[in-house]
Structure 1
């Protein structure tokens, strides 16, 4: 057989019809299966009468109440009774025949079917703590999970940890590079600390209370009889709770000769040191009488403005139509000099008024469900849905609100890195600008301007019928 020229040989190799044997042999294309068995002269026209090879069929679906309203209205809706939610809002969007996990859609209707007022690409502002990898510890002592810039990149200024200690369990003696602000979610625990001057502190906190530790201050926590779950907020977005200083590790990483010399003790005293870090571990239950663990050093006991805890659970809330608010900042809790926090309760149908802060806001939904639209200057907006256990994050100067879209109260933490809790209220701003400027700019009627308040509202009551405006008229 006459050899095939090299170029043509390479071409045939790409077609897979030339065997690399010697002498070279040219093989014919296989005859089975025959293309004509499944394709007609016009190609894949399904002319053989078999099942369709292309196309997708969407099964019947039902729109949620309010979902068919004008997309510009942005009416909140829920897919509680919808089997297969579809990305449709008013005349916008279309059905989705592709693979879906409908439970995700039901939790995030404003992401699947956003209002048409959303614009451009807003960075993700939501992270469910339940999606964080949970660190379980032995012997039922507890667990912890965290949120930081690894799972919520927009949250550059703060990070959070959700931690549980079983009854009698410790979070071992440790310290951080970052400041730690904490809110007790349930149960109770004992807090112990000592500062650079040998000033000591011990206190019991319960659900609704707060503690704070500056960077470097060593402290420990022990759950009391019913155990305790608490939320920790750190002033570094990339904070990692597994990177804290631990007394067990410090002893393991220090030569025993040095320990002996420093603590004036025989080497045998260190024979029973833990073999690994403790982190969270079971211990002897704390004595019921707090005074039994009071230890007074040369610096005395921390009191007053130097206290590491604040009993926010005992503070009266400021009641407003639609909910209530508690504010804790350095004016009431001086030691936490860079943390200013609002604990906000929003009744069904109500909303935290449209506002923004001069610093980033780290938020946590303690209970309830709602939605937030954030406006990122100059032209970007995005709407997100939140449930209990979710973290939210809104950068400085982004306007936003929190609207209750559920049937129970929202309890929400707004955490700022600021010496005072402040915000800019959009309603107050409109009232305190000369009316003609507002009319020339937004073309709002006099009746609306007359109804505005010169005071911040914080929370405004709304219609509990969230679809009341579906017809395109009325007041929410």
Structure 2
């Protein structure tokens, strides 16, 4: 005779940490209610006799016309509320007060926001952090898994401790990098057998084309750098690693390839290294300057650019400096600007006609409104470590909302860093056309500047006199 044991699995609820469950003196009810709870019944006793007592004080900027759209500094608010003027209402919760305080333009958006744009913000602090071996460093990334509409570029924030390596590797995407702090030694060999090695420090840039094998090792002070790839689907987990190539090639084949005994590969690692510590790099870089019959990579095609030594172009509201293929030819389709905006200043309303913009916020805090045709607009708040993404021809500005300098890098997939400025467009269009279209006063139109006002000054963002600072940074 066969017996069948039927077991019903029920959810398990553990006891409370401090004593017995609630309602100790009442019978333990079943897991489900009765059918009398479905729909209307005069016996139902649900509902509240009084509204929640929510105590809060509105900021002065919340009491004006919502279309003014002033920045709301909720960090200093006891109980921030989704209210602007006569719009919105209080919020009794549940809530995440931390997110509400640092994302005031999401909790209480300007009245000019409308509809829904793409999500143009991702905090690297929410990315999964991949930790290296033995305290060697870490890496976290942004790609289409977390920003589905950021299709042209992806980014990685990576840290290497002193003597830490990013393992020998290559990938199918182009790699553009900005050193954020510290210093490192980069090395590569190209398809012609030409070799390259250089030391780069905070503010410098490097570029490695697709398929070019290279390595990175932190120097004595360690290093953190930003990597930008020309593929929104790029993943750091899918790079071609030297360890994996050796592990997944038959040792007999390796023996023939290198002309050595099979036993030469007995001690290769049994897993990838990715980020690990090694022998500190010698202080004298010449000791690692391996040369071949092909020689060194020609200077004109060098994979590094010492951007840290390029002076910034100063304007009233901040500063800017550009690196693009006009000065760094090997990075054939990467153009970037490092922008500093002083407190109270802003990067003027603009758009890029031929490229999406991938932006990384290095320090400070700011906000931007992304406008997408025909009538969608969303305002986002950014802090150091955040990624912004603005599709081509979608207008936006970046305003400093803090009390310290806002620093960020704008990266384009373009052979030259260019933009279209709203102010220059309006000022360079016949006044009659503008007046008939926007009903602006003659006084305002007569005071507009035909040159770009890329970085507005303090207070009311008065125009500043400068001739296209984005181009003047080139030498």
TM-score normalised per structure 1: 0.86
Deviation at 1:446, TM superposition (A): 1.6
Q: Does 1:376 align with 2:372?
A: yes
Deviations 1:193-217 (A, max 9, x none): 1100011110001111100000000
Inter-partner Cα distance in structure 2 for 1:54 and 1:334:
71
Inter-partner Cα distance in structure 1 for 2:49 and 2:416:
61
Q: 1:80 aligns to what?
A: 75
5 Å-filtered alignment, 1:57-96, equals 57-96=52-91
Q: 1:3 aligns to what?
A: none
Inter-partner Cα distance in structure 1 for 2:443 and 2:284:
62
Q: CA RMSD in A?
A: 1.9
Q: 2:291 aligns to what?
A: 296
Inter-partner Cα distance in structure 2 for 1:447 and 1:197:
63
Q: Does 1:417 align with 2:377?
A: no
Distance of aligned partners of 1:68 and 1:197 in 2 relative to their CA distance in 1, 3 Å threshold: same
Inter-partner Cα distance in structure 1 for 2:445 and 2:86:
32
Q: What are the ranges of 5 or more consecutive residues in structure 2 without an aligned counterpart?
A: 1-32, 35-40, 462-475
Q: Does 1:338 align with 2:306?
A: no
Deviations 1:338-373 (A, max 9, x none): 000010000011000000002100000000100000
Q: Secondary structure of 1:80's partner?
A: helix
Distance of aligned partners of 1:339 and 1:90 in 2 relative to their CA distance in 1, 3 Å threshold: same
Q: Does 1:261 align with 2:248?
A: no
1:148 pairs with one of 127, 143, 148 = 143
Q: Secondary structure of 2:361's partner?
A: strand
Deviations 1:171-197 (A, max 9, x none): 011001000000111100000011000
Q: Secondary structure of 1:221's partner?
A: strand
Q: Does 1:103 align with 2:98?
A: yes
Deviation at 1:121, TM superposition (A): 1.1
Q: Is the 8 A contact 1:320 1:457 kept in 2?
A: no
Q: Does 1:275 align with 2:274?
A: no
Q: 1:428 aligns to what?
A: 424
Deviates more, 1:82-91 or 1:361-370: 82-91
Inter-partner Cα distance in structure 1 for 2:171 and 2:42:
71
Q: Is the 8 A contact 1:83 1:102 kept in 2?
A: no
Deviation at 1:270, TM superposition (A): 0.6
5 Å-filtered alignment, 1:107-186, equals 107-186=102-181
Q: Secondary structure of 2:67's partner?
A: coil
Q: 2:246 aligns to what?
A: 251
Inter-partner Cα distance in structure 1 for 2:168 and 2:106:
42
Deviations 1:384-422 (A, max 9, x none): 000000000000100000000000011011100000000
Deviation at 1:56, TM superposition (A): 4.2
Distance of aligned partners of 1:420 and 1:319 in 2 relative to their CA distance in 1, 3 Å threshold: same
Q: Secondary structure of 1:184's partner?
A: strand
Q: Is the 8 A contact 1:366 1:412 kept in 2?
A: yes
Deviation at 1:146, TM superposition (A): 0.3
Inter-partner Cα distance in structure 2 for 1:334 and 1:64:
50
Deviation at 1:454, TM superposition (A): 1.4
Distance of aligned partners of 1:72 and 1:464 in 2 relative to their CA distance in 1, 3 Å threshold: closer
Deviation at 1:142, TM superposition (A): 0.6
Inter-partner Cα distance in structure 1 for 2:165 and 2:258:
24
Deviation at 1:81, TM superposition (A): 2.0
Q: Is the 8 A contact 1:160 1:233 kept in 2?
A: yes
Deviation at 1:55, TM superposition (A): 5.3
Q: Is the 8 A contact 1:200 1:302 kept in 2?
A: yes
Q: Is the 8 A contact 2:122 2:387 kept in 1?
A: yes
Inter-partner Cα distance in structure 2 for 1:268 and 1:353:
64
Deviates more, 1:420-429 or 1:55-64: 55-64
Q: 1:361 aligns to what?
A: 357
Q: 2:216 aligns to what?
A: 221
Inter-partner Cα distance in structure 2 for 1:309 and 1:166:
21
Q: Is the 8 A contact 1:350 1:464 kept in 2?
A: no
Report the number of matched residues: 424
Q: Secondary structure of 1:67's partner?
A: helix
Structure 1's consecutive aligned runs of 4 or more residues displaced over 4 angstroms after TM superposition are 41-46, 52-56
Distance of aligned partners of 1:45 and 1:260 in 2 relative to their CA distance in 1, 3 Å threshold: closer
Deviations 1:220-256 (A, max 9, x none): 0000001000000000001000100001100000000
Deviation at 1:299, TM superposition (A): 2.0
Q: Secondary structure of 2:224's partner?
A: strand
Q: Does 1:448 align with 2:441?
A: no
Deviation at 1:43, TM superposition (A): 4.7
Q: Which has the larger radius of gyration?
A: 1
1:206 pairs with one of 201, 208, 218 = 201
Inter-partner Cα distance in structure 1 for 2:45 and 2:137:
62
Q: 2:383 aligns to what?
A: 387
Deviations 1:61-111 (A, max 9, x none): 122241222101001111122122111111110001120010000110001
Q: Is the 8 A contact 1:58 1:95 kept in 2?
A: no
Deviations 1:271-321 (A, max 9, x none): 110000010110000000111111111221123221101111100111111
Deviation at 1:53, TM superposition (A): 4.5
Q: Is the 8 A contact 2:75 2:102 kept in 1?
A: no
Q: Is the 8 A contact 1:202 1:294 kept in 2?
A: yes
Q: Is the 8 A contact 1:58 1:96 kept in 2?
A: no
